[in-house]
Structure 1
Amino acid sequence: MASTDNLSSSSLATVASQVKFSELCGLLEKIQKTQGNDKKRRILKDFFDKWREFHLRLHENDKNTVDSVYPAVRLLLPHLDKERVAYGIKEHTYAKLLIEVLCLGKDSPDANLLLHYKAPKTARAEAGDFASVAQRVLKNRCPDKGLLTIDEVNRDLDAIAIANTSKAKDTVHKHMVHLLTSLSATEQKWLIRMIMKELKVGLSQSSVLNVYHPDAEELYNVNNNLEKVCLALRDPKTRAHEVGITIFSPFSPMLGERASPDKVEEIMEKSMYFIETKYDGERFLLHKNENEYKYFSRNGNEYTHVFGSNIFDGTLTPFIANCFKKDVKKCILDGEMLGFHAASNTFGTKGEQFDVKSRDVVERSGYQPCLQVFDILLLNDKVLTNCPLKERLPLLEDVFSPVEGRIVRSVYKPAYTNQECADALNEAIDNKEEGIMVKLADSVYRPNTRKGGWFKIKPEYVGGLTDELDLLIVGGYFGVGHRGGMMSHFLCAVAEPPVEGEKPSVFHSFCKVGSGYSKKRLRDFNIQLAQHWQVYDKKNPPEHLKLASGFKEKPDAWLLPEKSCIVQVKAAEIIESDRFKAGCTLRFPRVEMIREDKQWYECMTTTDIETLKQKSGGKLAGSRFELDMTEEPTKKKRRTAHQTVKPKLMEQFKGIDTSTVIQVSKLLEGKEFCIINGPLHFPKHNLEEKVVEMGGVVVQNPDTKTLCVIAEADKLTVRVKNLIKNNKYDIVKADWLVKVIESNTWIPWSPADMISVTPATQKVFQQGFDQYGDSYTALTTEDELQNVFKRINNVEPLSEEEIVELEEKYFPDDSPYGLFRTCRIYIDSNLVLSFPDTHIKNCPLDLLQLELRFFGATVTDKLDTRVSHVIVHEKDLSRIAQMKEIRHSRQKKFHIVKEDWVRACMEEGTVCSERSYEL
């Protein structure tokens, strides 16, 4: 720290005005290079101790000095600085500014280095870390040591943040130039990381706060204000034993931990808990003090300017101010801000791409903000956080009267068992909701923690409840930080449905995924694909890859489909998006596994994605949870040294010992067989023995020399099914080999002898046999003719999917006659109207039934398991409850909609969302 000697009294304002920014950067350099969290913490503690000592010396000279370490801490924890939410400066903008200030040529090596900092071949060891790349460029262009203090740097950063809010680009440029010309290259590196809000020194937020003061993190979790924390705890002897929640001071709310329905009794210790619906909105805290209101998000950001500070302003306050009871002067409510669509009387989801925090949300989307309140933390002057949840919830009834579509109370019900939790989750799945919350009835409110007795349960957290998608990796994005120098995120695509018998050749971008894998798996995966990546050139894009117009998700690199692989991706929902060519994308995608058992051309198609969207309105949860779906995890036992017995193959799976078999003929000489199994009267070991006797070769695993795989047609094992999927070998029925052995004559294969054929064999068959397996040249026996007739009789009519493919092939301009082709519709036609003075009785939905069939729908008179929609007339809703009960019990859900949905689809020329028409 700098000395305070000979300083004028006017300069003794703050420590920050006396400490050089270079000292803080030196501290960060030292912490970054030190190994071990404890050693890093000791270095930081020395810094804080010296700061406090410096402040005491300043205080001796000027008793009015009020100072804290906040100016330094806001630079050490830039992501917590609420005063500077955004600078409007990202790496590319910063690079262009450096090029301009340094007068670099646009095509110079240093300019390319800055603009393409992610590319490993140009950035070398600094790949992906823009700050380090900038330091390298600035090394010989800056002073050895900067002259600015911490206070001066903060003033410049404050000015940039304010100017960015008001779109004053000239002011931003002015202060950026001042910083660039006043700091050393090393200081520039740390300044860039502060602006990008990521220091990368190996110390967590919790570590920094706890080093400063043992109560700092707890206090920050309550008030969410870094400056107040630093000021209140500047004396290390001060302890925050009583941390109070105060009106109009933001804090981080209590959070929920992940859980599974089969564990609820255990984690709740068989005590009572409450179940609530988990709505898909944004967490908000409402503060009310008399006639003044403030709204804070989960991260402590204030949105009062949107929702309104008083009854005359905002998108929400004018509609709820009069609903509070007269004796409620102050309160803090915790809840979820939802979008409510008044016309359809439904709540929207984040996937519908509207921002409830926007002032013009109603004009843009028709959704109005509605606060769903599920907790109360302060009532008048009493803080309620230490009261158990079962005492806090009843108080909500005395705080406000609900207003539909504006402010409502969460509905909760008490429960004790796993089964009650499982039933609630299944009900949420049936209603296409996000999931449920379960909360311990005795839980107190603990800000910013997931360990307080609240748990969130979603279908995607439970294995087997959500659809998993097989997608092809078509592009990659260079990582930053610890993922620098390799691809950290991947662009995934789905295929255009190819012509039958051919592999797909065109792929539509679908989603970007960057989670679900470990660092080691990511490194291994990068090594696997490293030699196949090619730099993406926007002017000359690959023909097989189709991106959205405007290249909104342009990858850094791409690779050929045949050099790529399929990944199994799990997500919560398919949502509309114009960022990807598919027209939709995934919400919360993550990689479950790399499908090494699948070929690149076996990825999902655009048709598959559309089918999934139609199935349940985009939600990827359709299965019901049963308590026996998950297995209890076994406890790990301590390993003890003991003699292990190696597992052995059962006798029926072993190959025979051919050393004692004597060859008796050359019928099968030069032919290699892999025999999986055989019929009861001629099992595997007997077939193998006969093959060897006839001069053939038997192997247990097929390879390029293997003629065919022999298997019993009625017993397709898992191994045989996998071989069929790979389609590398001809798989022949064991009966064919038995006929060869018994007749002692080589019999060429016919289609009737095959279980699976390779493309090469298929071409041979097409030259000698018709589509039913009848030979063009050989005489047909009575048995063979009977088999041909069976295959003709077994030919099924075209499926709905095949009809859709034909329509897409022959009616590429969206023929309206296939509008409802993928829909199977049951019409509730019990309502009959009689016409006066006639004997005519008619159902008002009869004409609709004809129209549906005309436009491609399958109309059924039974509510079977394949039904996708039920049409109900508005004048007869008597069977709605019964049909919902049927839907509740089924795996595949169906929509119950008014006839208006059909009319809307016909007018729009496409299948509209059922949300606005559901009953």
Structure 2
Amino acid sequence: MTTVASKVPFSELAGLLEKISKKQGADKKLLLQEFINRWRDFHGKLHADDANTTDSFYSALRLLLPHLERERAAYGIKENTLAKLYIEVLCLGKDSPAADKLIKYRAPKNAKGDAGDFATVAYFVLKPRCPEKGSLTIEEVNQCLDGIATNQTTGKKDLVRKNILHLLRNLSALEQKWLIRMIMKELKCGLSQQAILNVFHPDANEYFNVTTSLEKVCANLKDPSTRMHEIEISVGAPFHPMLGELAVPKQLDKIMEGKMFYIEIKFDGERMQLHKKEDEYMYFSRNGHNYSRTFGENPYDGNLTPYIANCFKPGVKNCILDGEMVGIHPETKIIRTKGENFDIKSDTNLDGYQPCLCVFDILLLNDRVLSNLPLRERKEILKDVFNPVECRMFIAESKEATTSKECLQALNDAIDKREEGIMVKNPDSVYKPSVRKGGWYKIKPEYMRGLGDDLDVLVVGGYFGVGARGGLVSHFLCAVAEPFEPGEKPSKFRSFCRVGSGYSRKELFEFNRRMQDKWIPYSDRKGPPSWLILGREKPSLLVEPSDSTILQIKASEITSDSDKFGTGCTLRFPRVEKIRSDKPWHECLTFTELKELQEQFAGKLAGRHADEDHEDEPIKKKKKVVVRQEKPLVAPQFRATDTSQVKKVSELFEDKEFCVVNGSSKHSKASLEKKIVEYGGTAVQHPGPETFCVLCDKVQMKVKNIISTNKHDVVKLDWLVRCTEARRLLPWVPSDMLHARPETEALFKQNYDDYGDSYTEDTTIDQLMVVFKKVQEEGKLKPVSTDFIAEIENKYFVEGSTYGLFRLCRVYLDDNTVIGDKSTHIKDCSLELTSLELRMYGATLCEMLNEDVTHVVLCDRDLGRIDKFRSLNRSRWQKFHIVTQDWVSDCIDNGKILGERGYEPA
């Protein structure tokens, strides 16, 4: 089948983007509109010749909006990777000026007018070395990008490399410039996401907010004359939720015009949609990520669905609920917040907290879309959908109010309870996905002047910017001072937070101009200077405290962050309020003051009440320098470690490929990957056919997915550590495994029993303890009676068991005697050695003088209580023998039980 994408050269799209980037205002949209019209006209001609032609504008739109393409969520390719490939393909010398420009692309001297932008640097390097026009079509480029994304996920590195090289060898310098930006998911052509979608179709942006699928947008809105009159919401298709607009209580009298409105608690959790279809459950986050496996895809799996599956009322076949997923403790009923570094989406390490869904809206019920109904009607419908389950799922409480004073009181109540804030909603509002100005308002104390504390912190480090901030230091590492004597200046600082927002473009340029000669490159190899205490967060640049400037920071709260910063805590949502050029560097916040502030309001930086005197307008964020922050292609915990500087010291892991999924408290993921390379191995981020094994400490979602394929051995980190310590490749034992492939499991069955005990190898104490623990966990390690042991000894030891001499004796030692209700400790009379001998030779020692005792052993140096034992013995039905410790030692010497009569004290 012929498609438009197979006929349109990629050079045409790259040329279009180059023209758009050089135009201003409405001219940009006109150029894009002309391109789309030509595409549609060509599609019409193809369709006339072949009725099976179904190609849409999706092939081009996914390249114009690369950051929205879910099928290519992560290429796993960074600028350094592309730089090395270009050096290889172009046969550049590693020390050549061209190679140096590609590797050090952030340096302002290596780019003409766009410092820090790798695509621009690559263009100037490639221009004299590539053909003027490439040979690939839009369809071929898409196929290569799909191949990169797919093979990167499955760990097929050779195929990833093959696709990349094919693109690099068959495109011109200009085409590669725009291809790089597509791979980096930041086009920088001067057209926003909304502008591009609106040029394609007037309803495209709104429809994408509902479906989050470019493919559906292109398929269903291919005709610009066809309008979308009703939002399409369906079960199983996530959509961007409706959001709240910033406001303060005083504004509500004007906004609501004296009419009734709802007030709800704003929970600090995870925005979550619950899609129910019969017994199938789906959970989607605010950005459309699927967490159904964690919370439960059916009534039998997950940490939430099994507890709420039976709460839906009869007749509810399918529905979509909107709410907030929070963590709640079932006993204390305390709700834990995201600010406490708590991730309710994790299926492990919830520390006794359990997921609970606070539902505040319903969008669909039994195939009927409810989004166009007013909120008051949706709330009434919601009451008949399910019965609340304590600490699992409930309907958010809505209070009706009509005045700003009532709103002010609700906000102060939220401040007292350390809640995030409140939501105010218009009862007549309809549900508009991804819309922020639709009748919902969020009121948070940190956005009101006078309620939050401003923190004066000192800039001690910096980070280079990207995109529009390329060549500038755009983010800053800030610190607080260690306590110092009055009259002196601080000499030591602790890193505290990283901030990169709140300042204007003009302020950023002025600050960079002032600081340009004061930055010092930071090397992790040398470590931090003596005056600075760092955590895991390391800056690119440092600045001496006396050369630096104080920033006035505002944030919502102080959160615990054990090892990322030197203070052991950091700020949540920090932003720069003011650059304090008027304040000397040594008057910054101290560590002691920070701790007092944290304890005073349990971390919240808005502890004071709001009143009618606070200003009418909320604190608005200053305009951002760029439309969208650069997003990492791979989550931090899955990024590859830089091992370029690691020196090989051994061939221990030669020709072996390992995938380290996560590290432990003792050994981080990065340190283990460096250790693998150091010992001659290869570390990859995704296991493939050549992977020797997968290493991890915790069985998280990614590990579960790997295990479900049953293609890889999943081994505990301790095995790798033991190999490096022993300097040899140790064979796996069953206790090393978190999961074994069928082939490995078969080998274990040949050499080990069901509990991991080897048939051929000598067992160590540690291995034996692991075996016993496994037997006990499976409930097969049960207490064995002494009578049973005695029977075994009589059966298999004809001449008697040496260490079973006292097997049937139950002995009481008169060293701490309890007779009746009295307890007396006999001083200077130790039967400790006798106790050890009795236990060694099979006796059972009794702590109390009960009916089971057969022998009472006395110390021959203290027989003062013998009359009491004899008196007690006369009253017993089953008598016990009273002997001295000599009876025990003589029995052992003779290898048999001797008559007790000769050893009874006189």
Q: How does 1:218-617 map to 2 (within 5 A)?
A: 218-342=206-330, 344-362=332-350, 365-540=351-526, 543-549=529-535, 552-577=536-561, 578-617=563-602
Residues 647-666 of structure 1: CA distance to partner in whole angstroms, max 9, x if unpaired?
A: xxxxxxxxxxxxxxxxxxxx
- 8 Å Cα contact 2:247-2:617 kept in structure 1: no
How far does the alpha carbon of each residue in 1:605-647 deviate from its partner, in whole angstroms, 9 at most, with x for none?
Answer: 11111111111221111111011122689xxxxxxxxxxxxxx
Residues 53-103 of structure 1 show CA distances to partners (whole Å, capped at 9, x for unaligned) of: 110111111111112100110110111112222222233343344445445
Contact 2:72 2:149 survives alignment (8 Å): yes
What is the correspondence of 1:133-152 to structure 2 with a 5 Å cutoff?
A: 133-152=121-140
Determine whether 1:92 maps to 2:92: no
Residues 305 and 166 of structure 1, relative CA distance in 2, 3 Å threshold: farther
Cα distance in 2 for partners of 1:99, 1:353 equals 42
Q: Secondary structure at the match of 1:568?
A: strand
CA distance in 1, matches of 2:92, 2:339: 44
| Partner AA of 1:587 in structure 2 | R
In structure 1, C-alpha distance between the alignment counterparts of 2:581 and 2:132, rounded to whole Å? 53
Distance 1:343 1:141 in 2: 69
Secondary structure in 1 matching 2:551: strand
2:553–2:575 contact (8 Å) kept in structure 1? yes
Aligned 8 A contact 2:250 2:616 in 1? no
Q: Which amino acid aligns with 1:618?
A: G
Q: Secondary structure at the match of 1:323?
A: coil
Q: Distance in 2 between matches of 1:128 and 1:360?
A: 40
Distance 2:504 2:44 in 1: 48
CA displacement 1:481-521 (0-9 Å, x = unmatched): 22222111111111111233221122211111111111111
2: CA distance, partners of 1:394 / 1:278: 20
Q: Residue 357 of structure 2 aligns to a residue in which SS?
A: strand
How far has the Cα of 1:344 moved from its partner? 4.0
Question: Which TM-score applies when normalising by structure 2?
Answer: 0.66
One-letter amino acid of the structure 2 residue matched with residue 46 of structure 1? E
For the pair 1:212 / 2:200, whether they are aligned, the reply is yes
**Hey, what's the Cα distance between the residues in 2 that align with 1:185 and 1:331?**
51
1:51 aligns with 2:39: yes
Partners of 1:509 and 1:545 within 8 A in 2? no
CA deviation vs aligned residue, 1:425-479 (integer Å, no higher than 9, x gap): 1111111111110001111111111111100011111011111100011112122
Unpaired runs of 5+ residues, structure 1, are 1-9, 634-919
Question: Equivalents in 1 of 2:85, 2:330: separation in Å?
Answer: 48
Partner of 1:15: 4
Cα offsets for 1:352-409 (capped at 9, x unmatched): 22332233354xx443322111100111122111211111112222111122232221
Which region of structure 1 is more displaced relative to structure 2, 213-222 or 538-547? 538-547
State the partner residue of 2:644: none
Shift of 1:588: 0.4
8 Å Cα contact 2:275/2:283 also seen in 1: yes
- How far the C-alpha of 1:212 sits from its partner, in A, is 0.6
The 8 Å contact of residues 110 and 121 in structure 2, kept in 1 or not, is answered as no
Asked if the contact 2:248–2:617 (Cα under 8 Å) also holds between the matched residues in 1, the reply is no
Aligned amino acid, residue 357 of structure 2: L
CA distance in 1, matches of 2:447, 2:377: 30
For 2:330 and 2:160, the matched residues in 1 are separated by 43
Asked if the contact 2:461–2:477 (Cα under 8 Å) also holds between the matched residues in 1, the reply is yes
1:26 is matched with which residue? Answer: 15
Whether the 8 Å CA contact 1:274–1:414 is kept in 2: the answer is yes
How big is the shift at 1:554?
A: 2.3
Q: Per-residue CA shift, 1:163-192, capped at 9, x if unaligned?
A: 333343333223222222222222222112
- Do the aligned partners of 1:425 and 1:436 also contact (CA within 8 Å) in 2? yes
| SS of corresponding position for 2:309 | helix
Structure-2 separation of matches of 1:131 and 1:369: 44
Aligned equivalents of 2:153, 2:235: Cα separation in 1: 27
Report 1:791-830 matches (<5 A): none
Contact 2:528 / 2:534 at 8 angstroms: preserved in 1? no
Question: Aligned partners of 1:321 and 1:164: how far apart in 2?
Answer: 37
The more displaced of 572-581 and 460-469 is 572-581
Residue 67 in structure 1 maps to residue 52 in structure 2: no
> Unaligned 5+ residue runs, structure 2?
619-906
Q: Distance in 2 between matches of 1:412 and 1:116?
A: 56
SS in 1 for 2:383: helix
Preserved contact between residue 106 and residue 117 of structure 2 (Cα < 8 Å): yes
For residues 142 and 367 of structure 1, the distance between their equivalents in structure 2, rounded to whole angstroms, comes to 59
Q: Following the alignment from structure 2 to structure 1, what is the Cα–Cα distance between the partners of residues 327 and 160?
A: 36
Counterpart position of 2:700: none
Provide Cα deviations, 1:111-131, integer angstroms capped at 9, x if missing partner: 443333223244453312121
SS, match of residue 125 in structure 1:
coil
Identical residues among aligned pairs (%): 60
Residue type at the aligned position of 1:566: I
Q: SS of the residue aligned with 1:175? A: helix
2:891 match:
none
CA distance in 1, matches of 2:69, 2:51: 28
Q: Which moved more, 1:539-548 or 1:184-193?
A: 539-548
Letter in 2 for 1:176: I
> Aligned runs of 1:133-172 on 2, under 5 Å?
133-172=121-160
Alignment-mate amino acid for residue 548 of structure 2: S
Paired residues of 1:355 and 1:361 also in contact (CA < 8 A): no
Question: Aligned equivalents of 1:506 and 1:75: distance in 2?
Answer: 50
Q: Residue in 2 aligned with 1:783?
A: none
> Equivalent residue for 1:840?
none
The within-5 A match list for 1:476-875 is 476-540=462-526, 543-549=529-535, 552-577=536-561, 578-630=563-615
**Amino acid of the structure 1 residue aligned with 2:24:** Q
Question: Judging changes above 3 Å, is the alpha-carbon distance between structure 1 residues 103 and 314 closer, same or farther for their aligned structure 2 residues?
Answer: farther
After superposition, what is the alpha-carbon deviation per residue over 1:894-914, rounded to whole angstroms, capped at 9, x for unaligned?
A: xxxxxxxxxxxxxxxxxxxxx
Alignment match, 1:798 = none
* Number of residue pairs aligned between Structure 1 and Structure 2: 617
| 1:176 corresponds to 2:161 | no
Q: Is the CA contact (8 Å cut-off) linking 1:351 and 1:575 kept in structure 2?
A: yes
Q: Does 1:198 align with 2:186?
A: yes
CA distance in 1 between counterparts of 2:139 and 2:293 reads: 30
Greater shift, 503-512 or 431-440, is seen at 503-512
Per mean C-alpha deviation after superposition, the further-off stretch among 578-587 and 54-63 is 578-587
